[in-house]
Amino acid sequence: MTIVYPVKRRQFLVGTAGLASAAVTGLPAISQEGEKLPAYVAWKDPSDVIVHTSETLETTRAAQGDALITPSSDLYIRNNLPAPSDEIVADRDAWEMSIEGVAEPGAITLGDLKLLGSETVVAVLQCSGNGRAFFDHEASGSQWATGAAGNVIWTGVPVRAVVDAMGGIKGDMSFLTGTGGEEIPDGLPPESIQVERSVPVAAMEQAILAWDMNGEPIPLAHGGPLRLIVPGYYGVNNVKYLKRLAFTAEESPAKIQQTGYRVRPVGVSGDPSQPSMYEMSVKSWITGPLEDASTGRVRIEGLAMGGTSAVTGVEVSTDGGNNWQEAELLGPDMGPYAWRPFFLVVDLEAGMHTLASRATNGNGDTQPEEFEPNERGYGHNGWRGHAVEVNIG
């Protein structure tokens, strides 16, 4: 039998036209939904992304499919500020950053960081607001569904190795603080817009300063020449164009740390006493079929992530959660921070079916049915909200 994706086919045709116009005529690439790809990400695959704004692009759910790794051309984009000029990637090894809060602080170039060691980790990059569109309250911010997430191969130097080379952490520091390399316009207090995030210092065990993404130098749009990667932590903590790494006693004074990315009840404003968006939780979603399918044998597929421990199992329901069946995990186990595609082949009768998935991780955490709303719509991992209605006929 065949599964027909009418929308996907239309996307493909428009997307191809968009690619051709970008490559051949120099005109901007047009996404499947008819939006222009901004110039700094004109190399993205227009048929696989939704352009929310010039600073926010989402991967389509269909394009996520059962991909082990998200191609760079499909990976979402989320900028709090416009990206710096591409001059910063003209001579990557010359990029200089400062290391503070260590016994021997100072500046170091990317070229010299590469001499301290390297490690490769596969880690999910996911925006805190991924799944915001599935909340009933109208949380402000990009209405991400499932596509503000990707599974990426990162290579860089372990933060541990950098610390060792600089004489160890100085004193008793509680946080690892990374500062982004965006230019701050004159006259604005840096704390008001600077992308500077602090994570608990224990996260340095798995953190790396990465220069490679999916086997290539990190594109500027994704934080090249150098990016802090904190595997298992929400996207915002993975600071792009990293220009400073500091061990600090306190959290960054930046607004993005103090009041942004704080989980609180609907209607309440952000403050530093509330939980910060740090460790990701167990989550999964179905990526196909998303629309209509013919009766008979259907391959249901999707993606599952454990957050900070590997996915141990995924169950799939075709009747809105009344009955569940264990799905098969696809591909190799790429470590605790990677996502794992899954699939289940089932026979479906004619009619509407609610397809849902529910993952469990190595800590024994399972996705809840409902996820309690919070003011900014962060961290949704409820399986019911992520379910899809498919018409089989």
Ligand X SMILES: Nc1nc2c(c(=O)[nH]1)N[C@H]1C(S)=C(S)[C@@H](COP(=O)(O)O)O[C@H]1N2
What does the binding site for ligand X look like in residue numbers (CB under 6 A)?
A: 75-81, 125, 127, 180, 182, 195, 222-223, 235-236, 238-241
Question: Which residue stretch of 108-116, 231-239, 307-315, 359-367 sits at the interface with Mo ion (rule: CB under 5 A)?
Answer: 231-239
Query: Which token pair is 71?
Result: 């191609």
Strand partners, 267: none
| 123 contact choice in Mo ion, ligand X, none (CB below 5 to 8 Å, kind-dependent) | none
Closest distance between ligand X and the C-beta of residue 308, in Å?
17
Cβ proximity to ligand X: between 92 and 384 the closer is 92
- Residues 190 to 209: which contact Mo ion by CB under 5 A? none
| 257 contact choice in Mo ion, ligand X, none (CB below 5 to 8 Å, kind-dependent) | none
| 81 contact choice in ligand X, Mo ion, none (CB below 5 to 8 Å, kind-dependent) | ligand X
| 195 contact choice in Mo ion, ligand X, none (CB below 5 to 8 Å, kind-dependent) | ligand X
119-126 and 149-158 beta bridge pairing: antiparallel
Closest distance between ligand X and the C-beta of residue 310, in Å?
22
Listed in sequence order, the residues at least 6 apart from 372 whose beta carbon sits closer than 8 Å to its beta carbon are: none
Residue 355's H or E segment, with its range, is: strand 351-361
Cβ proximity to ligand X: between 76 and 95 the closer is 76
Q: Rounded to 5 degrees, what angle do the CA atoms 319, 149, 341 make?
A: 50
Q: 159, 207 in Cβ contact below 8 A?
A: yes
| Three-state secondary-structure class, residue 15 | helix
Q: Buried b vs exposed e over 321-351: b needs ≥16 C-beta within 10 Å? A: eeebeebebbeeebebbbbbbbbbeeebeee
| 371 contact choice in ligand X, Mo ion, none (CB below 5 to 8 Å, kind-dependent) | none
Q: For residues 57 and 60, what is the distance between their CA atoms, to the nearest angstrom?
A: 10
Closest distance between ligand X and the C-beta of residue 262, in Å?
14
- Kindly calculate the radius of gyration of the chain based on its CA atoms and give it in whole angstroms: 21
Cβ proximity to ligand X: between 195 and 300 the closer is 195
Cβ proximity to ligand X: between 279 and 292 the closer is 279
Q: For residues 317 and 103, what is the distance between their CA atoms, to the nearest angstrom?
A: 55
Q: For residues 130 and 277, what is the distance between their CA atoms, to the nearest angstrom?
A: 12
Q: Any contact of residue 127 with Mo ion (CB under 5 A)?
A: yes
Cβ proximity to ligand X: between 240 and 386 the closer is 240
Q: For residues 264 and 282, what is the distance between their CA atoms, to the nearest angstrom?
A: 20
Q: Any contact of residue 235 with Mo ion (CB under 5 A)?
A: yes
Among 173, 236, 316, 390, binds Mo ion (CB under 5 A): 236
Residue number of the CB atom closest to ligand X: 180
196-200 and 328-329 beta bridge pairing: unpaired
Cβ proximity to ligand X: between 40 and 342 the closer is 40
Cβ proximity to Mo ion: between 234 and 342 the closer is 234
Closest distance between ligand X and the C-beta of residue 196, in Å?
9
| 62 contact choice in Mo ion, ligand X, none (CB below 5 to 8 Å, kind-dependent) | none
Question: Which residue stretch of 78-86, 115-123, 206-214, 241-249 sits at the interface with Mo ion (rule: CB under 5 A)?
Answer: 78-86
| 355 contact choice in Mo ion, ligand X, none (CB below 5 to 8 Å, kind-dependent) | none
Among 78, 222, 353, 358, binds Mo ion (CB under 5 A): 78
List, in sequence order, the alpha helices (H) in the chain. Answer: 6-20, 61-64, 110-113, 159-165, 190-193, 255-258
Q: Return the DSSP state at 22.
A: I
Cβ proximity to ligand X: between 80 and 259 the closer is 80
Cβ proximity to ligand X: between 165 and 204 the closer is 204
The phi and psi torsions of 217 (rounded to 5 degrees) equal -55, 135
Where along the sequence are the contacts to Mo ion (CB under 5 A)? 78, 127, 235-236
